[in-house]
Amino acid sequence: MPGLFSNYRIGQGGVNLVKSPLHLADDELTQAQNAELIEDEDIGGDGALTKRGGLAVLNGSALTGSVLGMHGLPVLTTYTRTMYAAKGTADTNTWMTSTNGSTWTNVTAPLRASDNDKYQDENNERDARRAATYKNLIIYPGNDYTQDTDNPEISFLDGTNYLKVQHIGVGPSGNGSPPFAITDILAANGKIYFAVHDPGGSGANIAGRVMQYDPVTGKTTQVLNPFGNNTGDVTGGAPSCMVWYQNQLWVGLNGSATTDAIGKIVRAHPDVDTTWTTDVSNLRSHISTMAVFKGDLYAGTQSSVSTGATITRRLSTGVAWATQVTSGGGAAGNGHYASMLVDGDTAIYCVEYWSGGTDIIHILRSTDGVTWSTDRDVDANDSIDTTNPQEPGQSLLYNSAFYFVFRSTTITATDGFIMERSSGGTYTKRNTSANLSGPLVTLVART
């Protein structure tokens, strides 16, 4: 008799009517007319089968006579685009929503996104910390876990249903403890990529990895080799921000050092390459944000021990990186550029942040990627706390207007807000005295 056999993928191979029973794969079925896979990890996970729901009634009462045929006619479809801004833990409300950018409503669903306390390790206050949109889904890091005890979760929202799709387990280059946090999420190349910060590593070579989720197969796999100080690891920091550029995944790294000329960005074709390629390793300091504008790649760095943060450009026609602007803020500390946002080929935006003797919280704008100017002096005009200024969160283009989140100073504080830039260039402060944790994303719902 054979020993114990465990099958965690029942039904994921679909129905196969060609193979004989002896040749069927472990995950294939011979029939499954009324079965479907459950995606929500809390009630079974991707490998669990459940009975498919019944068909919806088309008409309220039986038709007279026999149905001899049917013909499909186009039905008016309405698409509603709603902004979701993640909240901290000041109260039971978890998100704020808006369909016009000016009026915001507190809601208690979906469940809360990762709060600021999940990002206290190393320099993770300056990671991208974004949510993402894929088709009609919002994908974001959930908050329903205890750091260093539980595995952080990836959550989906389709406007009605909230799903915990995946928990990210212990990494190969960490110290054996669960990951600290999901530092960035990117939907690209038909996949959803997660940047993970793992505990462990040493010095500047802190641990982490990039994971990818395939919405078609439901599989989550690690992308190439991890980051850390073990043999075969990528050194220079843990993944902090991502962008898809020239058919490759580019990853900026973040770490604990503030040394000059250590900013590192790696790249790879996720389903082709076997290792990451280092594209640059001597930018000002660690990387906080990246974006593509007019075919060129831009990176916002942190300040180093001796010099202010920079915005740096890599031309599409070459491999060299060149500094476009240097922050007027001081060295070391918490200076960085964040929240890069692109308006097609018209303009690129970035938030400059530095907290010190004279705080700097500016929204910068450039139409050519070379000359940058202050589009909004936030610290001078928008009642920033000059002794403990709010750090930038996610940025978003919505209905021809631009939105920039400024996070609450603590997870329970109500001093966060959103800056709106109209298509005409006028700035308006929205959600004054709001409890904001950073993520800002748009959900598209069809009715």
User: What's at 175, amino acid-wise?
Assistant: N
48: in domain: no
363: in domain: yes
148: in domain: yes
20: in domain: no
57: in domain: no
User: What's at 408, amino acid-wise?
Assistant: S
Tell me which residue has tokens 């928008």: 382
255: in domain: yes
Predicted confidence pLDDT, tens digits, the chain (447 residues): 456 666 666 777 778 777 777 777 877 777 777 777 666 665 556 656 777 766 667 666 776 777 777 777 777 778 889 999 999 999 999 999 999 999 999 998 888 999 888 887 766 778 999 999 998 889 999 998 888 889 998 888 887 777 777 788 898 887 888 999 999 999 999 999 999 999 988 777 899 999 999 988 888 899 999 999 888 999 999 999 999 999 999 999 998 878 889 999 999 999 899 999 999 999 999 999 999 999 999 999 999 988 999 999 999 988 899 999 999 887 877 899 999 999 999 999 999 999 877 789 999 999 999 999 999 999 889 877 666 788 999 999 999 999 999 999 889 999 999 999 999 999 999 987 889 999 999 998 877
135: in domain: yes
Residue 223 belongs to what domain range? Answer: 79-446
User: What's at 245, amino acid-wise?
Assistant: Y
Under a CB-based contact definition with an 8 Å cutoff, are residues 24 and 10 in contact?
A: no
pTM, to two decimals? 0.85
Q: How many domains does the chain have?
A: 1
CA angle at residue 25 from 21 to 30, to 5 degrees? Answer: 45
**CATH code, domain carrying 286:** 2.120.10.80
